[in-house]
Structure 1
Amino acid sequence: MRSSTTIRSVVSRALPIFFSGRLMAVVFVPLIGAAIAWVAIAALSWQPLVHWLATSVFDWSGKGAEFLGILTAAMALLLAAVATALVAISILAMPVIVNLVAAREFPSLERRKGGTFSGSVINALSATAMFVALWLLALPLLVFPPAYVVANLLINANLNRRMLPYDALAEHADRDELDRVRRESRKRLFLLGLTLAPLSLVPVVNFFASLFAGVAFTILCLDELAKLRAVNRQQAPQ
């Protein structure tokens, strides 16, 4: 049986890599640009979006229409920003993150290159599609806002679990290992996503939270891969 690395340990190991100069230089500039773009989009669309939601979608709720419109608009913009950041990180940042994590934490881990660019794109699109579907299914929970917030935390955790592990493992795992680590570690991957999910609800911070999630998921995935290979070596015939 493989020993488990704690989620707290993964988060603490991710911090120095997240604040490294190289990661900031390569990744932070496009993320800052994306954050500024979404702030501008939110500023320009806020009033029309809230008005439309209150008068067209939630007009049945009477006095609560404006509140439901504000809450829905806020969550929609926040979650759209999170999804945008994760897709950008998956495509642009994960190769840098994987190299930084591997050099610091797993320098001897063999690279078997089981992932592909097309696989990464398909994975990102499918994860985003599921994210949108789950978010739409959660909309009725707006009648009880605390449940809606909890649902969105779970949805964000699931998005992280589905999107990031493929890119974290693509360079080092072979195809069988890539599938096996994601399958056998799915509960721990979801728990890590849930631990980081509250940061996704903070405007602007959510962009950088997505980057931190990329680092943390890479550490956890490569750690699980290294342990899987160690177990396989022990079980191999002498």
Structure 2
Amino acid sequence: MNSVLSALIRALQTLFHPKMLSLVLWPMLVAVALWVGAAMLFWGSWVNDLTGMVQATPLEQWIAHGFLAVVSHYLIVIILMLLLLPAIYVTALLITAVFAMPMMVDHVAEKYYPELERKRGGSNAGSIANAAVAIVVYCAGWVLSLPLWLFSPLALLLPLVLMAYLNQRLFRYDALAEHASREEYARVIERGTVKLYLLGLAAGLLQFVPLLNLFSPVYVALAFIHLCLDELKQLRQTVQDSS
């Protein structure tokens, strides 16, 4: 827990460096522009498609009676918004992971971990594959869990659980790709799984805080860089002490 808290504090300190401030807003602004533009073009078809999907499930009988029948259109719109808002945030995270992580890793490593040897166990192909797996699993979890949101108190927990998974899966690879060997990467993930998920959960809370969520993708990325590089540093120290 101390490692997670330390990563969050160091990430906050790092965030206010001019190099990092230059990265803060543009991932979210680009994501908003992409999805707002898509909504302007396809909103009608999205509503129709989602309505057809609902009508093909048992939810149709539940919605088709009484007061819910009157507001069914608005329920469809609300469900669509529930899908659109995390889509914007996830897109901002993906943009940060793909385009901004190399600069952030270099900055954090040079300032806080200059002694770490760069073994370059990762690759661009590995980064793309890792991001693809993270996004596919996250989106599948969102879609499959939507019915539970209507009938279960788990509606409050499911977004956080999914975001914790996405955060740790999306950023851990790129945070370590430059410095860790493949073997070291596997050992860091094995040793730090609980810490990674705790950090992912803590970082996931930021998506629900207005204004803070505008710059949270970069902040979250910095926190994972600090945690992962610190875990790698400790791993190497442990190996050195035992040899």
After TM superposition, is the score higher than 0.5? yes
Say whether 1:165 aligns with 2:162: no
> How do 1:110-189 and structure 2 match up within 5 A?
110-144=117-151, 146-189=153-196
- Alignment gaps of 5+ in structure 2: none
* 1:136 Cα deviation from its structure 2 partner: 1.6
Deviation sequence 1:57-99 (CA, Å, 0-9, x none): 1543243435642442222112211221222112101101101
- TM-score normalised by structure 1 residue count: 0.86
Which residue number in structure 2 is paired with residue 224 of structure 1? 231
Equivalenced residue count is 233
Say whether 1:18 aligns with 2:31: no
Letter in 1 for 2:5: R
Pair member with larger Rg? 2
Question: What is the CA–CA distance in structure 1 between the aligned matches of 2:50 and 2:207, rounded to whole Å?
Answer: 23
Distance 1:181 1:68, change over 3 A: farther
Letter in 1 for 2:198: L
Moved more, 206-215 or 163-172: 206-215
Distance 1:226 1:108, change over 3 A: same
| 8 Å Cα contact 2:176/2:228 also seen in 1 | yes
* 1:108 Cα deviation from its structure 2 partner: 1.2
* 1:40 Cα deviation from its structure 2 partner: 4.4
Q: CA RMSD in A?
A: 2.5
Say whether 1:7 aligns with 2:4: yes
Paired residue for 2:116, among 92, 109, 113? 109
Distance 1:122 1:43, change over 3 A: same
Which residue number in structure 2 is paired with residue 215 of structure 1? 222
Paired residue for 2:31, among 15, 34, 39? 34
- Alignment gaps of 5+ in structure 1: none
Paired residue for 2:82, among 68, 75, 78? 75
| 8 Å Cα contact 1:51/1:69 also seen in 2 | no
- The share of aligned pairs that are identical, in percent, is 36
Distance 1:30 1:163, change over 3 A: closer
- TM-score normalised by structure 2 residue count: 0.84
